[in-house]
Structure 1
């Protein structure tokens, strides 16, 4: 009997229900109607890759409740294997609300107390053979914020031992580490105590990582550097082969250990909800790495996928199909050629 085909991608980390307002420019206190969607960064990245034709699975946990049932069905509907998404009796499935103030203000409100089930991932329950075999393993910074998820994440990385491609999504959420607020934005402060708490765990994860992906805040937590080029080289010094620094309206920078440096401008789009763009970028980045594309092509494709999701309300349900990404890229190229 032949061995089962390895997954293209296994992601590990956050899952929950997104309850997003169906009105824009309205504070949460005045919103009357919401849409319900699968959410959580690790789940969204798996969905994004599955939409692009990749065989994807998720390692996570939900509450033993109707919202957990909904998430299992949503994963299956999106073509993501949910065999390693297991229930936790003690904690409810997390909810996340947001406010929509396009083009660049999307406050998030996480309901993950007393503890999120996805932080109850345990080392003993991991299928380490599958973790070793998958073509890409994707883990997140949030998975490091509490035990037993922290130990399980580091155990998966150690077992992987840099086989294939191992991606660390720096995924910095200060409130999960005792800090206040969300990502600080360029030039802001994310809170020294929260950064100090996270840094050694980020450093431990980077030692087992081949690709690191993050924005300025996330790079600062991981390396102490915010300036994109300095941050990229600091990530390389920490052990990765490829550093990808997301720069928001300034595009994306990637630096490979061999010295290859690529900078890609943002893909122009009318933004409705920017919250899922990074996860779409991540799934498309994995797609390009799996395809063996040149770095610039991979980044342009990932940027276009992120832009498409930013133009839509949902995160998971908004992940684009290959034809949509290619059409946007073709339109952008035509615009560049026009006088």
Structure 2
């Protein structure tokens, strides 16, 4: 049976402090979690009951074994996760200093990482073509052979060949440490955009992709590239989404922030769920905003991904329930 959500790209072990509001140099205890944005999105989608898988690579080491075990624990198919014996599984450290300071430190990603060694010839193209949602990230375009694999996968899913319930999503997750500059990233983004039906990013990421401007202008430029749905995250102001016929601004769901690093991935997994459920756009955004808010209120990322019950309970508590989501609880 085809996967409802198939993601490709980064995976790592997140080493997060158990000491909140403390500089990393002064932290005394840590816990480890599955990490890496596309892997987190797959976990989030699985939490919403979707058949999810991730295409990625780890080192042939104990941390790689740990990530396989965690994916399976979360209900994510690990069939497309393979090892690169000569490389180590990446580890990511962060400091947790809410509400806005969460610096990340990447280890084992330079000069390359196992998940950047995904090769086109190793892809199961039938799985890519048949997936309900195929989710990739800009980081996956930053280096070969991952770049070629991403392009080959997208070429296997031309827009005109997609079914009415299929979506190809590009997460515009520009991270400057993986690129020589914005021009290089923009060039690679535009090699993929002709195959993308949904683009998701914050205003900075959208600026790298299509230039500076208001969120509405950035969304319009993405639509002009042929994208069917442009989602521009507005931080504390919520999210704006546009289609050729509709524009929706969804305000944030207020929550006390503990660790904001996983909120975008929770939003992504919930976005996938709402798109597959074929909810109206306003309902999709409400649900995804609430999922992101819940994870921002927790320490971890993958482990913190909420269930539908938790999301709907939060929306109800905040008086934000919309009819389509209310029906989903019955």
TM over 0.5: yes
Report the counterpart of residue 76 of structure 1 in structure 2.
72
Partner of 2:326: none
Q: Secondary structure at the match of 1:293?
A: coil
Contact 1:9 1:55 in 2 (8 A): yes
Q: Distance in 1 between matches of 2:90 and 2:213?
A: 31
Q: For 1:335 and 1:276, how far apart are their aligned partners in 2? A: 23
- Farther off after superposition, 30-39 or 222-231: 222-231
1:134 matched to which residue of 2? 131
- Shift of residue 239, structure 1, vs aligned partner: 1.7
- Partner of 1:333, secondary structure, is coil
Aligned equivalents of 1:94, 1:302: Cα separation in 2: 28
Deviation at 1:105, TM superposition (A): 1.1
Alignment partner, residue 183 of structure 2: 196
| 8 Å CA contact 2:99, 2:258 repeated in 1 | yes
Where do residues 149-188 of structure 1 align in structure 2 (5 Å cutoff)? 149-162=146-159, 163=162, 164-178=166-180
Aligned partner of 1:123 in structure 2 is 120
Kindly state the Cα deviation for residue 114 of structure 1 after the two structures are TM-superposed. Answer: 3.1
- Could you say if the C-alpha distance between residues 209 and 269 of structure 1 is closer, same or farther in structure 2, counting changes exceeding 3 Å? same
Q: Is the 8 A contact 1:91 1:114 kept in 2?
A: no
Picking from 25, 28, 37, the partner of 2:21 is 25
State whether structure 2 residue 273 is matched by structure 1 residue 287. yes
What does residue 108 of structure 1 align with?
Answer: 104
Off by >2 Å, runs of 4+ in structure 1: none
Q: Does 1:224 align with 2:211?
A: yes
Q: CA deviation at 1:113?
A: 2.2
Name the Cα RMSD after superposition: 1.2
| Cα distance in 1 for residues equivalent to 2:75 and 2:269 | 14
Aligned-partner Cα distance in 2 for 1:240–1:276: 25
Describe the SS at the equivalent of 1:93: coil
- CA distance in 1 between partners of 2:18 and 2:281 (Å): 37
Cα distance change on mapping 1:172 and 1:226 into 2, 3 Å: farther
Residue 330 (structure 1) aligned to one of 312, 316, 320: 316
CA distance in 2, matches of 1:70, 1:34: 16
SS of the aligned residue for 1:272 comes to: coil
Alignment partner for residue 315 of structure 1, among 297, 301, 317? 301
What's the counterpart of residue 231 of structure 2?
A: 244
Q: SS of the residue aligned with 1:11?
A: strand
Number of residue pairs matched by the alignment: 316
State the partner residue of 1:64.
60
Q: What does the per-residue CA deviation read over 1:211-270, in whole Å, with 9 as the maximum and x for residues that have no partner?
A: 00000111011101242111101111112000000010010000002x200000000001
Query: 2:84 maps to which residue?
Result: 88
Query: How far has the Cα of 1:334 moved from its partner?
Result: 6.8
TM-score, normalized by length of structure 1?
0.92
1:275-299 Cα shifts (integer Å, max 9, x gaps): 0000000000000000000000000
Matched, 1:51 2:47: yes
Distance 1:96 1:103 in 2: 20
Gaps of 5+ in 2: 323-330
Relative to 1, partners in 2 of residues 1:335 and 1:60: Cα closer, same or farther, differing over 3 Å?
Answer: closer
Matched with 1:34 is: 30
Confirm or deny: 8 A CA contact 1:217 1:226 kept in the other structure: no
- Deviation, 1:66, is 0.4
